[in-house]
Amino acid sequence: MIVEKPFSELGLNAAALPGAMPAFCASIPAGELRGICEQARARKARIVALWGSDETQRSAGFALHLALAFPAGLLWLSVALPREDPRYPGIADIYPGANRMQRATADLLGIRPDDGADTRKWLRHGAWPEDAFPLRKNVGAAVRFAQQPDGYPFVPVEGEGVHEIPVGPVHAGTIEPGHFRFSIVGEKILRLEERLGYKHKGIEKRFEAMTLEEGAKLAGRVSGDSTVAYAWAYAMAVEGATGTSPPSRALALRGIFLELERIANHLGDLGYLGNDVALSFGFFQFWRLKEDLLRLNSRLFGHRYLMDAIVPGGVAKDLQRPDAEFLAGQLDGIEREVTTLKAIYDEHAGAQDRFIMTGQVLPELAERMGLTGIAGRASGMAHDLRTDQPIPPWQQLDPRMASHTRGDVAARVSVRFDEVFESMRLVRALAQELPSGVIRTAVAAAKAGARGLGWVEGWRGEVLVALETTAADRIHRLHPHDPSWQNWLLLEHAVHGNIVPDFPLINKSFNLSYSGADL
Amino acid sequence: MYQLLKQIVKTGIVTERAPLPDTALREVEQRLGEVILKHFGRALAIRHVDAGSCNGCELEIHAMNGPYYNLERLGIKFVASPRHADLLLVTGPVSRHMETALKRTWEATPDPKLVVAIGDCGCTGGVFGESYASCGRVSNVIPVDVSVPGCPPAPVDIMQGILTAIAPDKRR
C-alpha cells in the first residue's frame, strides 16, 4: 500500500521509488538536512545508511545521500553539493550512527561535514593520501597511490592504574582483521576504541567498472557470511531500477535461501558462544548441525553458502518437489537436535553465569545509538523487515519477530534460538507451497540515471543496496550497506565495565562483519 | 549433565577420513627435507591471516575445526602467534591496508615456514582484483608454497592444501 505523500509532514515532496520495498526519494537543500533529521529522529525513524556520490560528470558537483527507515518505508534523501569544497551540515549529533559513515564519505569522496564533529579518517589508512579521493570519477581504475605513513589519534584515557591493550589487526583466532584499543584498570574495561578499515579493498569503485549483470557476483561477496542477503538486495535494486518483476517462484526460493543462511549462521554462532564459555561440547554439536545444513545446501542448490543462487531477475537454482520434501525432513531432524541442545544450554549453570548480564546494551542506549538487526532485537529494538514490511514472500507467512529486552549475551543467544526455530518453520512453509512457473525472468534494459533500492533483513540485520545506473546497463554508483556499521559503535559500549576475558564472548554475541563495513 | 552426556554418546564420532596430498596444488617445489616434514606431519602449528577476504573462506576454516573434519586429530592446530607457527594460512585478496601486517606476520614466523593461499582471491585476486586498495593475490606480497582455489574452497580442500604443504613432493 502506497500512502499519498507519506512524508508531507516533514515538508517533503517525496516520490515513490519503483521496486519491491516501499521506498521514497526526495532532494533537499543542504540547509534543510539537519531540520529534517531532527524531525525524523523525533518520529523514531532509524538511520540505515549515509553515503556520497560524484556527480561532476553530469555537470553537477557532488551529492550526499541518507537512508532513513520509517514505518511507511525507506526515505532516500539526496543533498546536492558544490563541486568546489563540498560540505554539508553534519548529523552525527542527531544520529550517532552517522559518525563513521560521514568520515568514510570524507575519505572516499572529499565530502565533509562542516561542524566541529569527529573529523578523523576512518576507511583511509595508508593506501591513499589525505588529498586524494579514490571514489571520485576523475580517479581512474588503474590509479595507484604510494603507501602513506598511517597514524591514528586514538582517544587517550588517563588516570592512576589505567593502561592500554592494543589488539590486532591480526587476531589470535580465525577472525577478520581489525584493531581494538582497550583502556583498562585491573581486569575491567574502561573504554574500547575500534579502528577498522583494514579490509577496505575498493568494492564500491569496483562496482563502477561493472555492468549490472557482472555486479551480482561482487555483491554476493561484500560479506561472505551474508551472501544471500546481499545478492537479494542487489537483485532487488537492479529489478527496481530496470522495472523488472521476478517470478513468484523465485521470490519463494529467495526466502528459502535467506532463511537457510540465517539458520546456518545462528547455528555457528551458538556453537562458538558455547565454546567461548568453555563449553566446547556446544561448539562440536552446533558445528556438526551447521555442517549438516551446509552439505544439504550443497546437495540441493550446488553451493554450501548459496553463493550466486540469487541473480537479478530471479534465482539460478530451483527446488523440485521430492527435494523440497527431503529438505523439510532434514530440517525436522536438525530442529529436534537444536531443541535438545537449547535445553542443555538453558540448564547449564556455568554457561548461563557467563551469558547473563555480560555485555549489556539497555534498550534506551540501543534506541539512542541506533542498534539494529539481531543485536537490536535483543535490546528491545523491535524491528525486522520481514514483519515491518511484509512484501512477498513473507506476506502470507506472518513471520514472528524474536525479541528480548535485557540486551546481554544471554538475550542475543535467546534471540538466535528463537530465530532458528522460526526460520525452520518459514523454510518448510515456503518449500511446501512453492508457486509453479519459471524461476527467472529477463532483466529489462536500464535507463541512465535510474535508481533502485534493495533492503533485506539478513541474518545479522538489514542489508541495504542503493543503486544508480548509467547508460548501457552500467553502474554509476552503488553503495552496499552492512548493519555492522551501526552495531560496531554499540560493541564499544557493550563492553564497559566488563572484564577483558569476556570481550571475545561479547564480540561473538554481536558477530559483526569487518568486510561488510570496510568495503 | 545427564542430557549432555547422553547427547555425546548418541552423537558418537562423526569424523571422516582426511584427504590425501595433491601435488597439483603446489606453486613451488617442496623446499623442506624429509626429516623436517616428518616432524611437521605430527605437529604442525598454523597461524591464519585474513588479509582482506569477504569472510567466506573463514567460514570454511572454522568448519575445518568442527567434528566432521577435526583437523587437530592430525596433529595440526591453530596458534595465536606467528612466532609459534610453521605455516601461514592466508585468505583474501591482500588489501593494501593489510599489506604491512601480512609482511610483518610473515617476517615474525620462524624459518622454515610455509605459506598456503586460500580461495580464488588468495590465488588470483578473485572478483576484487588489483586496485588502489587491493594488492590482489597473496603471492604478490609474500612467497606462496601451495594455492587452494575455490569460492570458498570446501574444508576438505583446505585440509588437502595444508597436507600438501607438508608432504614430500612426488615430482622430484
Beta strand A62-70 pairing with A46-54 = antiparallel
From the CA atom positions of chain B, what is the Rg in Å?
A: 17
Compute, in degrees rounded to 10, the torsion defined by CA atoms A34, A79, A518, A418.
Answer: 60
Q: Is the minimum CB–CB distance between A513 and chain B shorter than 8 Å?
A: yes
Asked if B82 and A170 come within 8 Å (Cβ–Cβ), the reply is yes
For residue A261, list chain B residues with Cβ-Cβ distance below 8 A. none
H or E element that contains B37: helix B34-40
Inter-residue contact B117 to B147 (CB < 8 Å): yes
Asked if B154 and A304 come within 8 Å (Cβ–Cβ), the reply is yes
Q: Is the minimum CB–CB distance between A129 and chain B shorter than 8 Å?
A: no
The chain A residue lying nearest B91, using CA atoms, is A176
Q: What is the pLDDT of residues A84-116, one digit of tens each?
A: 999 999 999 999 999 999 999 999 999 999 877
Asked if B49 and A170 come within 8 Å (Cβ–Cβ), the reply is yes
Q: Could you tell me the pLDDT band of residue A1, with boundaries at 50, 70 and 90?
A: very low
Q: Going by C-beta distance under 8 Å and a sequence separation of 6 or more, which residues neighbour residue B13?
A: B67
Inter-residue contact B27 to B149 (CB < 8 Å): no
Q: Could you tell me the pLDDT band of residue B171, with boundaries at 50, 70 and 90?
A: low
For residue B60, list chain A residues with Cβ-Cβ distance below 8 A. 304
Give CA–CA dist A274/A359, Å, rounded.
Answer: 16
Q: What is the pLDDT of residues B18-57, one digit of tens each?
A: 899 898 899 888 888 888 888 777 789 999 999 999 999 9
Q: What is the pLDDT of residues A43-89, one digit of tens each?
A: 999 999 999 999 999 878 999 999 999 999 999 999 999 999 999 99
Nearest one of B55, B22, B14, B2 to B159, comparing CA atoms: B22
Give CA–CA dist A215/A203, Å, rounded.
Answer: 10
Instruction: Compute the mean pLDDT over every residue in chain B, rounded to the nearest whole number.
Output: 92
Cα distances from B89 to residues B6, B8, B151, in angstroms, run: 36, 31, 16
Q: Is the minimum CB–CB distance between B16 and chain A shorter than 8 Å?
A: no
Q: Is the minimum CB–CB distance between B53 and chain A shorter than 8 Å?
A: yes
The total number of residues written for chain B in this structure:
172
Asked if B101 and A177 come within 8 Å (Cβ–Cβ), the reply is yes
* Res A173: pLDDT: 84
Instruction: Compute the mean pLDDT over every residue in chain A, rounded to the nearest whole number.
Output: 94
Q: What is the DSSP string of A317-371?
A: ----HHHHHHHHHHHHHHHHHHHHHHHHHHH-HHHHHHHTTSS---HHHHHHHT-
The chain A residue lying nearest B70, using CA atoms, is A284
Provide the grid cell at A144.
595507484
Mutation to test the B interface, candidates A174, A213, A512, most B Cβ within 10 Å: A174
* Paired strand residues for A457: A462
- Residue A395 exposure: Cα atoms within 13 Å on the Cβ side: 9
Nearest one of B60, B54, B46, B20 to B168, comparing CA atoms: B20
Provide the grid cell at A124.
583511509
Q: What is the pLDDT of residues A190-237, one digit of tens each?
A: 999 999 999 999 999 999 999 999 999 999 999 999 999 999 999 999
* Paired strand residues for A113: A88
Asked if B59 and A225 come within 8 Å (Cβ–Cβ), the reply is yes
Q: What is the pLDDT of residues B59-104, one digit of tens each?
A: 999 999 999 999 988 889 999 999 999 999 999 999 999 999 999 9
The chain B residue lying nearest A173, using CA atoms, is B80
The chain A residue lying nearest B104, using CA atoms, is A170
Give CA–CA dist B112/B102, Å, rounded.
Answer: 17
Give CA–CA dist B69/B18, Å, rounded.
Answer: 7
Give CA–CA dist A310/A355, Å, rounded.
Answer: 36
The chain B residue lying nearest A308, using CA atoms, is B151
Q: Is the minimum CB–CB distance between A227 and chain B shorter than 8 Å?
A: yes
Chains A, B: CB pairs < 8 Å = 163
Dihedral sign, Cα of residue A26, residue A29, residue A30, residue A31 = negative
Q: 86-125 in B: which are within 8 Å (CB) of A?
A: 92-93, 95-101, 105
Q: What is the pLDDT of residues A435-480, one digit of tens each?
A: 999 999 999 998 899 999 999 999 999 999 999 999 889 999 999 9
Q: 70-89 in B: which are within 8 Å (CB) of A?
A: 78, 80-82
Provide the grid cell at A176.
577478520
Asked if A147 and B66 come within 8 Å (Cβ–Cβ), the reply is no
Question: Quick check: B154 pLDDT over 70?
Answer: yes
* Res A141: pLDDT: 87
* Res A56: pLDDT: 94
For residue A344, list chain B residues with Cβ-Cβ distance below 8 A. 3-4, 7
Q: What is the DSSP string of B131-146?
A: -SSBB-SGGGTS--SE
Q: Is the minimum CB–CB distance between A345 and chain B shorter than 8 Å?
A: no
Q: What is the pLDDT of residues A138-162, one digit of tens each?
A: 999 889 999 999 989 999 888 889 9
Provide the grid cell at A133.
579521493
Q: Going by C-beta distance under 8 Å and a sequence separation of 6 or more, which residues neighbour residue A137?
A: A54, A56, A57
ipTM summary value:
0.93
Give CA–CA dist A405/A382, Å, rounded.
Answer: 10
Q: What is the DSSP string of A63-83?
A: EEEEEEEETTEEEEEEEEE-S
Inter-residue contact A254 to A315 (CB < 8 Å): yes
Which of A202, A217, A221 has the CB atom closest to B56's CB atom? A221
DSSP class of residue B109 equals: S
For residue B97, list chain A residues with Cβ-Cβ distance below 8 A. 125-127, 197-200
Which of A127, A173, A223 has the CB atom closest to B133's CB atom? A127
Asked if B62 and A141 come within 8 Å (Cβ–Cβ), the reply is no
Beta strand A162-167 pairing with A73-81 = unpaired
Task: Kindly report the pTM of this predicted structure.
Answer: 0.95
Give CA–CA dist A187/A226, Å, rounded.
Answer: 34
* Res A4: pLDDT: 54
Q: Is the minimum CB–CB distance between A126 and chain B shorter than 8 Å?
A: yes
* Res B36: pLDDT: 80
Q: Going by C-beta distance under 8 Å and a sequence separation of 6 or more, which residues neighbour residue A335?
A: A421, A424
For residue A350, list chain B residues with Cβ-Cβ distance below 8 A. none
H or E element that contains A98: helix A98-109
H or E element that contains A506: helix A503-510
Q: What is the DSSP string of A224-265?
A: GGGHHHHHHHHHHHHHHHHT----HHHHHHHHHHHHHHHHHH
Mutation to test the B interface, candidates A107, A128, A201, most B Cβ within 10 Å: A201
Asked if A294 and B96 come within 8 Å (Cβ–Cβ), the reply is no
Question: Quick check: A421 pLDDT over 50?
Answer: yes
Q: What is the pLDDT of residues A323-362, one digit of tens each?
A: 999 999 999 999 999 999 999 999 999 999 999 999 999 9
Nearest one of A450, A421, A371, A433 to A396, comparing CA atoms: A433
Give CA–CA dist A134/A136, Å, rounded.
Answer: 5
Q: Is the minimum CB–CB distance between A197 and chain B shorter than 8 Å?
A: yes
Provide the grid cell at B69.
573434519
